């Protein structure tokens, strides 16, 4: 399993500031073996690509709505891709904010949307999926 431990990410306050071009050609989640999983009592999400052949870059935007009706999210890049083990995996992405080792997790999150920009065989694609936390 390959961990995205050198991923750079930042909080996103609005999906309107998407850094991924919505006009990219689309791949289905199954085309890249996309799997999403909630961790730590639905406080974190991790995603995996189990069909990483030809993938040379992965950018992600994870968005959700908390119980205060504010859209929040995390954007970032998985760097140093090594597909030799057959899996690309993100680090756990917090559904909340963390500072100085103290995390405040958002409440009332029922679904998480993931938008990926994947460079595969020299071309850019987008992949979208949703994870229900209910």
Residue 18 confidence (pLDDT): 62
The closest of 30, 26, 32, 15 to 112, measured between CA atoms, is: 15
Beta strands in 1-134 (DSSP E): 8-12, 25-26, 34-39, 44-49, 55-65, 71-78, 88-89, 93-94, 96-99, 102-105, 111-120, 123-132
Q: Which residues of 71-97 are buried (b: 16+ CB within 10 A; e: fewer)?
A: ebbbbbbbeebeeeeebbbbebbbbbe
pLDDT tens for the chain, 134 residues long, are 333 333 444 454 444 456 677 789 999 999 999 999 999 999 999 999 999 999 999 999 999 999 999 999 999 999 888 888 899 999 999 999 989 989 999 999 999 999 999 999 999 999 999 999 98
Domains of the chain plus CATH, in order, are 8-14+25-132 (2.60.40.2150)
Rounded CA gap, 71 and 24, in Å? 23
Residue 65 confidence (pLDDT): 95
The closest of 91, 76, 86, 79 to 12, measured between CA atoms, is: 76
pTM above 0.85, yes or no: no
Tell me if 25 sits within 8 A of 125, measured CB to CB: yes
Residue 85 confidence (pLDDT): 86
């Amino acid at each position: 399993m390959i961990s995205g431990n050198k991923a750079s990410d930042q909080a996103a306050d609005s999906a309107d500031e998407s850094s991924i071009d919505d006009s990219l050609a689309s791949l289905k989640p199954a085309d890249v073996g996309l799997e999403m999983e909630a961790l730590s009592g639905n406080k974190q999400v991790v995603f995996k690509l189990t069909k990483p052949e030809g993938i040379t870059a992965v950018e992600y935007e994870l968005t959700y709505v908390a119980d205060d009706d504010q859209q929040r999210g995390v954007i970032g890049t998985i760097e140093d891709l090594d597909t030799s083990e057959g899996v690309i995996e993100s680090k756990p992405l917090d559904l909340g904010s963390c500072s100085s080792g103290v995390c405040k997790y958002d409440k009332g999150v029922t679904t998480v949307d993931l938008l990926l920009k994947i460079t595969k065989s020299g071309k850019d694609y987008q992949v979208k999926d949703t994870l229900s936390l209910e």
